Structures are given as structure tokens and as C-alpha cells.
Amino acid sequence: KELPSAMFYLNVAVRDLLNKMLRWHIYLESGKPVDMGVLDSRLEALLEDELFALYKKTYPSADYDQIWSAFNAVATLWNKAGNMVADSCGFPYPEKTEIEMMEFIARLKEN
């Protein structure tokens, strides 16, 4: 149980990549550049309700169970938005990479 490390991975390393994926999703869904607002403040207005509901679940408290629930929400949201982006761009979704990432996260959780 390493709270600082877990929160860093979730809120810095992972969230930055997730927000980039969501920006791509919003851009591809709209078909044009979209003003996301300062620090992506318009995300709620621009994402579909289902995806934003998942996004809200990615913000935990300092409770370890909630942190792992947030990681799970990130993985689910990444899978949904990532598949949409990959399909729109004509790329195969990297399922093997996702499986390896989830195995890595599972190993972190065990320690």
C-alpha cells in the first residue's frame, strides 16, 4: 500500500494520457477542432453522458479500495474511448497492450 505512488500513477501519469484520449474522441465525434476549455473544463459538456459518468468515477478519495475502483473506471473508459478512436482512425485497438497493462496493475494491487 503506497498511497503517494498509487495517486501519482492515477492522477498524473494515467490521467494525462486518458484526457488526451478523450480529447481525440471528442474531436473525432464532432469532426472538427473543439475548444475544451482551460484544463479540459468543458469535458462534461462535450462527452456523452455514459463516458462522463465513467470519468467521474476516476476521481477517488485516499481510500485504497476507492483508488482501485478509480483505476478500474480509467481502464473501462480508456477501452471504450480508445476503441472508438481506433475505429475512427482505421487502426486496430491494441488489445494485447491493454491486457499487459491490466496485468501490471493487478501486480501493483497485490503488493
Burial of 57 (0-12, 13-18, 19+ CB in 10 A): middle
Contact indicator for 18, 54 with CB cutoff of 8 Å: no
Tally of structural domains, the chain:
1
Which residues, including other chains, have CB under 8 Å from residue 86's CB and lie 6 or more apart? Answer: 92, 93, 94
Is pLDDT at 13 greater than 90 in this prediction? no
pLDDT of 61 reads 81
Q: What is the pLDDT of residues 60-78, one digit of tens each?
A: 887 888 888 998 999 999 9
Enclosing domain of residue 9: 3-110
pLDDT of 18 reads 94
* Helix 49-56 and helix 64-89, axial crossing angle in degrees, nearest 10: 150
pTM of the full structure: 0.70
